[in-house]
Amino acid sequence: MKIRTLEQLSDKLAEELAWRKIELSALKALIDAKSFSSGKQKALLRSGITMLYAHWEGFIKVAANSYLEFVAMQSLPYNQLSKNFIALAMKDKLDQARETNKATIYSEIAEFFITKLSERSIIKYENRITTSNLSSSVFREIVCTLGLNYGFYQSKEVLIDKKLLEKRNMIAHGNYLDIDEQQYDELHTQVIQIMDDFRNQIDNCAATKHYCQSPSLNNP
Digit-coded pLDDT (tens) for 11-46 = 999 999 999 999 999 999 998 887 888 888 889 999
For residues 108 and 171, the model is more confident at 171
CA dihedral 168, 171, 177, 179 (to 10 degrees): 50
Q: What is the pLDDT of residue 155?
A: 96
Is 215's pLDDT higher than 60? no
Q: What is the pLDDT of residue 90?
A: 81
pLDDT band at residue 220 using 50, 70 and 90 as cut-offs: very low
Q: What is the pLDDT of residue 214?
A: 63
Q: What is the pLDDT of residue 99?
A: 74
Region of 185 on the Ramachandran plot (φ > 0 left; ψ -120 to 50 alpha; else beta): alpha
| Percent of the chain predicted with pLDDT > 70 | 97
| Percent of the chain predicted with pLDDT > 90 | 67
Contact 5, 74 (CB under 8 A): no
How do residues 44-56 score in pLDDT, each as one tens digit?
999 999 999 999 9
For residues 16 and 98, the model is more confident at 16
Q: What is the pLDDT of residue 110?
A: 81
User: What is d(CA 178, CA 167) in angstroms, rounded to the nearest whole number?
Assistant: 10
For residues 114 and 47, the model is more confident at 47
Is 166's pLDDT higher than 60? yes
Contact 125, 146 (CB under 8 A): no
Contact 203, 10 (CB under 8 A): yes
Residue range 64-92: average pLDDT? Answer: 92
Q: What is the pLDDT of residue 94?
A: 76
Query: pTM for the complete prediction?
Result: 0.90
User: What is d(CA 106, CA 111) in angstroms, rounded to the nearest whole number?
Assistant: 9
Q: What is the pLDDT of residue 101?
A: 73
